Structure formats: C-alpha cells, structure tokens
C-alpha cells in the first residue's frame, strides 16, 4: 500500500470534480503528530485560479474529497492546509493484509530496463576508500530496483585500459623473468609505485612504456597476454573486496573500458560526419555552446587527442551508445563522485546530439560527496597514503569483535566471529549509506559502531530485540492469527510508519538515494522502541487479544527491518 499515492489520487478526483483537474495535488507527511499523519497543501496554490480565499478552497476540497474509509479526521489549519489523520481501523486492516507477506505489500512497478554503472575501479591500482561509496550505494540502488521488479543490468565500467598500462606492463615483463605474476602483483600499490619510480627516473624506461602502449593498442600477442595477466589479478583483488562487502557484483557484470576499444574510431568518425565534432589544433573536439563560460566561450569536449589517442570521454560516448542501443536501457544510472559531474553533463549533451539516446531514455549521473577523515580532509592513512579498502574492512570487523565481546558473554567463539563480521561490515556500509548522497561526510569509527543513534548496530540490535520477544513468548510469527487493533498513539504511529515502506523504496528507486531508506528504518526502529515501552506485550496482565495484536505489529517491524536492511546490503542477526 502506498498511502501517498492513494491520497494524491483521491485529491485529484476532488479537484476534477471542482473543474480544476490539472491543479497540483501536493501531499506530504506531516512534520508533527498534532498536524495529523499527512497534509494536503494544494489549496493556497489555487487561490488565484479560483479567485477565492485558500481556507474557503480547502473547505470546498473537503466537501469533494472521498476519504471516509481512510481518514478518521480531516481538518483545515493555518492559511489553508488540510491535515489528514488516518483511521485506526483502516490502518489496522492494511497491516493485517501484509502480515504474512514477505514483500510487505509492496507492489511491483511497471518494468523498466535499468543500467547501473557502479564500482568501476581503475585496475592499475588496488581498490581504495574512494571506491567505497560508488560500490555500496550502487549495490543498494540495484537491490531496490530489482525488488520493485525492474530488470537491472549491472555494468562495472572498470578502468582497464589507457596509457598507464604501458608503464605497468613494461615493469611486469621485467619482473616475470624472476617470479610469477601472482607474486609480482600480490600488492598492486607497491607494484604501481615501483613502476612509477622507474618511469620517472630510469633511463629509457619511459620510452619502453610508450612502446608498450602502442603494442597493446595494436593488439600485439605478447602484450595482450601480459595485460590479461595483469587485469585478471587486479580483478581478483576487487572480488575479494566485493565478497567482504557482500555486494552483488560478479565477473559477468564487468564491461571495462577496453570492451569499447573497437567502437572508438567509429564514434569519432560518426561525430565528424554528423558535423558535431570538428578538428581543432590537430585534435577532434566538440564545442558545447550550452555550457559556455561567462564570456560566452563554449565548453570544449575532446574526443581524440592530436596524437590519435582516445579519451575517457570517447569511451563514455561508446558506452552510452551500447547501453541505449544494445541493452535497450530505459534509464542509465552512473555513480561516481561529484567531481565528474561536468564530464557526464557534457557527455549527455554530445551523445543526445549524436542520437545515441532517444529522448525518452534517461541518463542520470548520480554524484556523491567524499569520505573525509576527522580533520575534514580526504580520508588518508596516518602516514598520508591512500587507505586500502581491504584493510579498512578488516579493521572494522576487528573493532566490532572487541565491542561485541565486551557487551555479551553468551556467544560462542564462532557466533562471535559471525556477529563481528556482520556488525563491522554493516557499520561501515551503513555509515556511508545513511548520509545524504551528495554531501561529504566524516568517517568516524566510534559513531558508526555505536549501538545508539542512526547506525547499523542500532538497527541490527532492534531486530534482535523483536526476535527475542518471540523467543520469550514461545510463538512463531507465522502462527499469529493476524488480528490487529490500534489503541495507543504509539501503535498508531508504528502502523503509519509500517505502511510507508512502499513509499520510501519508491523514492530510493527514483532518486538513487539509499539514505532515505536508512532514515526510515531508523525512525521505524525508534518508533518500535517507544511502542514497546508504552505497550507491554509479554506481561501477564495483557489480554490475549491485545498480545496477539501487538505481536503482529512486532512481526511486521521485524519483517520490514529485515527487508530494508537486506535491500541496503546489510545482514541481520537472530541474536547479538
Ligand atoms: N573508473 C572511473 C574512476 O574510477 C569511474 C568510471 C565510472 N563510469 C563511467 N562510465 N565513466 O574514476
């Protein structure tokens, strides 16, 4: 059930009856309980059209809107707001309907093909903290889209091509005279650094590196074999991270930059033929007047360098063509940090001019802010180096293990390890997912591992609390007869939140903003804690019928927390 859509459609009907069918029907959640559960804010906007006072219009809307079944009370407030207090009986009924439904009553949306380009690390180096956000935000968005019935095509647009591979392959070729590739590449950071030092300092090495680039691009056998060895090992490093992070990317989702190699010449020729690209100082460029600077000079978008080399931009145009054409994408979502925003804006303008996308196909760059250290600067190791993702995740599990061991003595060593892993990884992921996607955030071990506040441990703990109520009651949620009665305000508040799950996942799918789901789950868990304090379940004095009803609400909370956390890629536990 999507309460928001239901209310909007009922108000639309009323507006149609009032002969203003095109008027907006803005419905929002009320900020405070005394304003009801939802508010309709459309009366003020109609004052001009209808030439009447907003409060009178609000009254007309009330006379026309059909909400008897849904609302217990509708009242006009302030300049002309309509406060909607949902009906306890109706809410209880909606909750009963979804009690045994693992989807929580969430309907599938009309199916779309959605390409999601995420993670996409550069393979020349090991994955570092800069890849964390794209990988886990992308994976959460993918899971939500799939949950809503869309066909998601994951595209891991790995940086597996380009001039830096010349340097790496020349170095690898030398190293292989003494050792095997796996040993030489066991630490990609060290390997990269060594190669870079040689490139900068060793006589003749830079020259050899350049030759390797040319050989690689012309498909030289020996060079391709070396390259394959390199990227294969680098991909294996990434897979280790994916597994630790519990994200759903696999090898078959990789469509790296190299995959578009054969299309690049075509893209350049095509843009020239269509008069979109022109030659400028030996390079092939597109001038973009839509993105002119203050003096009116158009932005310059280079698609081929004067030496003939192609660029990141050229590859992204080829990728756009492939995704819209071959993959038939209704939507393409690309998750990278905000610094690439201009690149994707330009790519979209150029690609659309070239006809690589149809007007109804959307191209959505979803930018995110940076992860910062406690000093407010980009997150680094104590010595100023980049933090390897594998090491960060191992530290998270270790820290969580210590905390859990202090809190609980009932767990066996094996259980403790499992809890530490789920809590540690969950904490890192949730800390990231719960922040507004577009802003920078400060990475802090203590806050993310806290059992209080908007954190993974808090939500995981809330889930185990509900589970323990059922264990104590000696009842499985599946045997509940499902009669629900809402009597206390806390029960009402909890039921409203439970019914909002569909609304929330809809927003996440549309806007690629998992933090909306995090805030919701936090509100839900907090509402459950208040409910449990005010509305006893297990006490002897509680009547059977009331207990059954409250257990049903508790079961719905557990289902929603479990489903919500699963969509975020965070594991739940039975006890901790
Ligand atoms: N490899 C790039 C980076 O690490 C991200 C690629 C994003 N996807 C794309 N189609 N350009 O910055």
pLDDT of 222:
94
pLDDT of 427:
97
Cα of 271 from ligand 1 centre, angstroms = 22
Give the residues surrounding ligand 1 with Cβ less than 6 Å away: 117, 120-122, 157, 159, 316, 319, 334, 336
> Count of CB atoms within 10 A of residue 95's CB?
25
Cα of 318 from ligand 1 centre, angstroms = 14
Cα of 337 from ligand 1 centre, angstroms = 9
ipTM for the predicted complex = 0.98
Cα of 157 from ligand 1 centre, angstroms = 6
**What is the β-pairing status of strands 299-304 and 81-86?**
unpaired
The model carries a pTM of 0.94
Query: What are the structural domains of the chain?
Result: 3-86 (3.30.1360.70), 113-158+256-371 (3.40.50.620), 164-248 (no CATH)
pLDDT of 226:
94
Q: Which of 142-156, 301-315, 363-377 has the highest mean pLDDT?
A: 142-156
pLDDT of 482:
83
Rounded-to-integer distance, Cα 188 and Cα 199, Å: 16
> Count of CB atoms within 10 A of residue 198's CB?
19
Mutation test residue for ligand 1: of 319, 321, 340, the one with most atoms within 8 Å of CB: 340
- Nearest Cα residue to atom 9 of ligand 1: 157
- Nearest Cα residue to atom 4 of ligand 1: 121
Asked whether the predicted pLDDT for residue 382 surpasses 80, the reply is no
Closest listed residue to residue 123, CA positions, set 32, 252, 230, 281: 230
Asked whether the predicted pLDDT for residue 307 surpasses 90, the reply is no
pLDDT of 517:
98
Largest Cα separation within the chain, whole Å, is 88
Contact in structure between 34 and 21 (CB atoms under 8 Å): no
Cα of 134 from ligand 1 centre, angstroms = 10
- Nearest Cα residue to atom 11 of ligand 1: 316
Lowest mean pLDDT: which of 26-30, 180-184, 529-533, 554-558?
180-184
Q: Summarize pLDDT for 39-73 with one digit per residue, the tens.
A: 999 999 999 899 999 999 999 999 999 999 999 99
pLDDT of 387:
84
Binning pLDDT at 50, 70 and 90, where does residue 543 land? very high
Cα of 306 from ligand 1 centre, angstroms = 23
Mean pLDDT on 434-460: 94
Q: Summarize pLDDT for 124-147 with one digit per residue, the tens.
A: 988 888 899 999 999 999 999 999
Q: Summarize pLDDT for 168-221 with one digit per residue, the tens.
A: 999 999 999 999 988 888 888 899 999 999 999 999 999 999 999 989 988 999
Q: Summarize pLDDT for 487-528 with one digit per residue, the tens.
A: 999 999 999 999 999 999 999 999 999 999 999 999 999 999
- Nearest Cα residue to atom 5 of ligand 1: 120
Mean pLDDT across the chain:
94
Cα of 310 from ligand 1 centre, angstroms = 15
Rounded-to-integer distance, Cα 465 and Cα 471, Å: 10
Q: Summarize pLDDT for 394-420 with one digit per residue, the tens.
A: 999 999 999 999 987 788 999 999 999
Lowest mean pLDDT: which of 5-14, 108-117, 162-171?
162-171
Mean pLDDT on 304-319: 94
pLDDT of 385:
80
**What is the β-pairing status of strands 441-442 and 371-372?**
parallel
Return the percentage of the chain with pLDDT > 90, whole number. Answer: 86
């Amino acid at each position: 059930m999507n309460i928001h859509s239901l209310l909007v459609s009922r108000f639309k009907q009323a507006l149609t009856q009032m002969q203003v069918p095109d008027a907006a029907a803005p419905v929002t959640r009320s900020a405070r309980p005394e304003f009801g559960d939802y508010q309709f804010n459309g009366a003020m906007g109609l004052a001009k059209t209808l030439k009447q006072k907003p409060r009178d219009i609000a009254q007309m809307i009330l006379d026309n809107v059909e909400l008897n079944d849904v609302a217990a009370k509708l009242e006009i407030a302030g300049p002309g707001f309509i406060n909607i207090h949902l009906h306890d009986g109706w809410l209880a009924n909606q909750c009963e309907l979804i009690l045994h439904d693992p989807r929580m009553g969430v309907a599938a949306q009309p199916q779309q093909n959605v390409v999601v380009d995420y993670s996409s690390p550069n393979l020349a180096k090991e994955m570092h903290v800069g890849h964390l956000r794209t990988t886990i935000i992308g994976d959460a968005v993918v899971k939500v889209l799939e949950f809503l019935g869309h066909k998601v095509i994951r595209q891991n647009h790995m940086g597996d091509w380009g001039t830096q591979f010349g340097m790496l392959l020349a170095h690898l070729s030398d190293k292989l005279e003494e050792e095997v590739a796996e040993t030489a590449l066991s630490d990609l950071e060290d390997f990269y650094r060594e190669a870079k030092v040689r490139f900068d300092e060793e006589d003749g090495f830079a020259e050899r590196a350049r030759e390797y680039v040319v050989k690689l691009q012309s498909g030289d056998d020996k060079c391709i074999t070396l390259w394959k060895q390199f990227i294969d090992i680098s991909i294996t490093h990434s897979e280790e991270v994916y597994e630790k992070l519990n994200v759903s990317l696999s090898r078959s989702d990789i469509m790296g930059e190299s995959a578009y190699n054969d299309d690049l010449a075509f893209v350049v020729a095509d843009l020239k033929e269509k008069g979109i690209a022109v030659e400028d100082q030996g390079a092939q460029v597109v001038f973009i007047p839509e993105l002119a600077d203050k003096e009116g000079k158009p932005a310059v978008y280079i698609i081929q360098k004067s030496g003939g080399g192609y660029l990141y931009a050229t590859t992204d145009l080829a990728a756009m063509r492939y995704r819209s054409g071959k993959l038939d994408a209704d939507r393409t979502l690309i998750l990278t940090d905000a610094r690439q925003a201009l690149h994707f804006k330009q790519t979209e303008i150029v690609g659309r001019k070239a006809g690589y996308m149809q007007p109804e196909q959307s191209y959505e760059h979803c930018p995110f802010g940076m992860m910062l250290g406690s000093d407010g600067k980009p997150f680094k190791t104590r010595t100023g180096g980049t933090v390897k993702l594998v090491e960060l995740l191992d530290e998270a599990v270790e820290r969580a293990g210590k905390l859990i061991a202090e809190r609980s003595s009932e767990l066996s060593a094996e259980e403790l390890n499992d809890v530490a892993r789920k809590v540690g990884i969950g904490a890192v992921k949730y800390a990231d997912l719960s922040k507004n996607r577009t802003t920078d955030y400060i990475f802090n071990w203590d806050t993310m591992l806290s059992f209080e506040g908007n954190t993974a441990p808090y939500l995981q703990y809330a889930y185990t609390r509900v589970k323990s109520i059922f264990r104590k009651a000696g009842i499985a949620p599946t045997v509940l007869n499902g009669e629900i009665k809402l009597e206390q305000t806390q029960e009402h508040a909890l039921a409203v939140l439970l019914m909002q799950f569909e609304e929330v996942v809809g927003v996440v799918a549309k806007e690629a903003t998992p933090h909306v789901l995090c805030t919701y789950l936090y509100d839900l868990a907090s509402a459950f804690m208040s409910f449990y304090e005010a509305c006893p379940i297990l006490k002897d004095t509680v009547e059977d019928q009331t207990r059954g009803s409250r257990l049903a609400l508790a079961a719905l909370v557990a289902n929603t927390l479990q489903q919500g956390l699963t969509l975020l890629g965070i594991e739940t536990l039975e006890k901790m």
